[in-house]
Amino acid sequence: MDLMKGKKGVIFGVSNTHGIAYGIAKQLYDAGADIAFTYAGEAMEKRVRPIAEGMNAKLIMSCDVTKEDEVEAVFKECEKIYGKLDFVVHAVAFAPKEDLMGRFVDTSKEGWDIALGVSAYSLVTICRHAEPIMNEGSSIFALTYLGSILSVPSYNVMGVAKAALESAMRFLAVDLGPKGIRVNCLSSGPVKTLASMGISGFSKMLKAAVLRAPLNRNVSLEDVGKAGLYLASDLSSGTTGEVIYCDCGCRSAYASAEEMDILSKE
């Protein structure tokens, strides 16, 4: 498939072969895209570099998205290597583990600032530095989750961060729209990744999602990857300022009695 042949872009947030960002990267690469990768510090380089090299990446670069100068450096390097970009994927999120446990009301100020800074404000920073080198008709999208609009057990401050991310996306879509740049969010259903397994009770969320979903299954990395391919490609040329759901229908269905029973039990 040559849907992305000649298209160039960068993905922030690939960390291993079991994550959503990887699922998207694989679909983009298989469709012919030329992808640059970033990683969060030296500790992550040994995981990300083999993945990036396996996809023939011309640029593999360290980037802390909370540091403006590092984000700026990534896009300056992208401009040197690729010229203009056609897509940017924001797959970065983090909150201190202790702020994902217990009651939301006990969220620390430090945890709040970290979660909102890494998971939401970074999209603003990325868009600001991406804008000058994005082609007309290009796409920027970020990963979000249902916890942005519903109180999901143990998601806590990350839900607030994702809500901020989605709101920021809409304002960014208005700002960048006149230049022909689309900005959206992709909301995946629960997927068993290394990051998600750090959420208390996540295994229950997976079971509950199957009971709620009209398709009677959990979403797969391939499913989400294909949705990401849609958003990055010209297939979504008329879509901006939107949250696209890829969750086997979970958002549209009422919680069943069985699901509520699962969520109520430890």
- Residues marked active site are found at 145, 155
Ordered strands of the 85-90 beta sheet: 60-62, 34-39, 8-12, 85-90, 134-144, 182-188, 243-246
Cα 175 to Cα 90: distance, rounded to the nearest angstrom: 17
Q: How many CA atoms lie within 13 A of 155 on its CB side?
A: 21
187 forms beta bridges with 144, 245
Query: What CA–CA distance (Å, rounded) separates 180 from 137?
Result: 5
* Cα–Cα distance measured from residue 63 to residue 86, given in angstroms and rounded to the nearest whole number: 20
**CA distances (Å), 257 to each of 214, 216, 263, in order?**
15, 15, 10
SS3 label, residue 233: coil
CA pair distance 227, 23, nearest whole angstrom:
10
Cβ neighbour number for residue 159 with a 10 Å cutoff: 23
Kindly report the backbone phi and psi dihedral angles of residue 68, in degrees, each rounded to the nearest multiple of 5, phi listed first.
-60, -40
Q: At what angle are helices 122-130 and 156-176 packed, to 10 degrees?
A: 20
